[in-house]
Amino acid sequence: MAQQNFVDYVRICCRSGAGGPGSAHFYRDRITAKGGPDGGDGGRGGHIILRGNKQLWTLLSLKYRKHVKAGNGGNGEANNRSGAQGEDIILDVPLGTVAKNPETGEVVFEINQEGEEQILVRGGLGGLGNTNFKSSTNQSPRYAQPGQDGIEEWKILELKVLADVGLVGFPNAGKSTLLASISAAKPKIANYAFTTLVPNLGIVKYRDGKSFIMADIPGIIEGAHTGKGLGIRFLRHIERNALLLFVISAESEDIAAEYQILLNEIQSYNPELMDKPRMIAISKADLLDQELQELIEAQLDFNVPHIFISSVATIGLIEMKDRIWTIISEELH
């Protein structure tokens, strides 16, 4: 996924349609000079609607569409005819899109299902025609309601990547190399920090035609939960993962301390993420002999499953996929 084409945040101005006014008409024909009220209701103004589309992976289509305007409702007419409904504007968005109030940061709703539709900004109601106001004491009401105005609001749309497994780790921990080695994804790989600037998704094939989606989340740094680096943008993408796979390089000076820093960042960002299943993969294991591996295992005294892997030498990858499948299968059931 090209970095310039991955858009996970947009701010758009939405204006829903105004409702049409009701009609204050009275029935007339060749033989009826003074008929009763027959003014129809005005049409509803158009909504602005978000619709989930699993074929989309980014908010790119909305990046340059800063203003969205729905149609106005039609006027009520004679013979109790209601005005036409204003044209709704439907915006297709990827699954995992969150709509927020830009002033308060409050989540309005989330789109998680294919074809799911949610109203982002509601159109104004049409006004009632004079037929609605006829009563025993007022047989000839000469008034009708105007339609409600449309609403103009700014909205924030954020994308949280939906994946079964999220790769969590410091920059240059080997996450991109791992994803490239077990899927068809082709993330940028180089020997310097922050090679990955956007999430990369790969479909990992498993046994018997089964598969799962793995997301390479851009590297987390200490202080990410406060927005340091691109922290908040990085961290929100792990909220939708069923399993968090912590990737820590065997070259790390203190693997246990690095894992604890990553864990603290996640907990500080969203404590609910601590309830997700976790697993540790010690990458670049081809650099270790048996003695060094035993020394590292002695550090890993916390109750989290771990595995030694090498994407280059294909060490431990099959076992890792077996463990991942077991965990995410349990989560689904």
Encode pLDDT of 119-148 as tens digits. 999 999 999 999 999 998 898 999 999 999
Q: Which range, of 60-64, 71-75, 194-198, averages the lowest pLDDT?
A: 194-198
CA distance 261 to 221: 9
Provide mean pLDDT across the span 80-104.
94
The residue behind tokens 């976790």 is 278
**Which among 67, 9, 18 has a CA at the least distance from the CA of 46?**
18
In percent, how much of the chain has pLDDT > 90? 44
What 3 state SS string does 199-225 have? CEEEEEECHHHCEEEEEECCCCCCCHH
- In CATH, what is the architecture of 1-159? Distorted Sandwich (2.70)
Q: List C-alpha distances in Å: 167 to 116, 199, 214, 247, 288.
A: 28, 10, 7, 7, 22
Other beta carbons within 10 Å of 8: 21
Provide mean pLDDT across the span 77-85.
95
How far from chain centre, in Å, is Cα 223? Answer: 24
| Assigned token pair, 281 | 């993969």
What spatial distance separates the first Cα and last Cα of the chain, rounded to whole Å?
31
Encode pLDDT of 261-273 as tens digits. 888 888 888 888 8
Q: List C-alpha distances in Å: 160 to 81, 95, 163, 169, 240.
A: 45, 8, 9, 18, 7
Sign, Cα dihedral of 26, 29, 35, 38: negative
Query: What interhelical angle do 317-332 and 175-182 show, nearest 10?
Result: 90
Higher pLDDT, 195 or 180: 180
Higher pLDDT, 227 or 267: 267
Return the SS3 of 111.
strand
Q: Which CATH class is domain 163-332?
A: alpha beta
Name, of 105-109, 213-217, 301-305, the range with top average pLDDT. 105-109
- Is pLDDT at 163 greater than 60 in this prediction? yes
CA distance 232 to 75: 47
Residue 174, pLDDT score: 81
Strand partners, 12: 155
- Domain residue spans in the chain? 1-159, 163-332
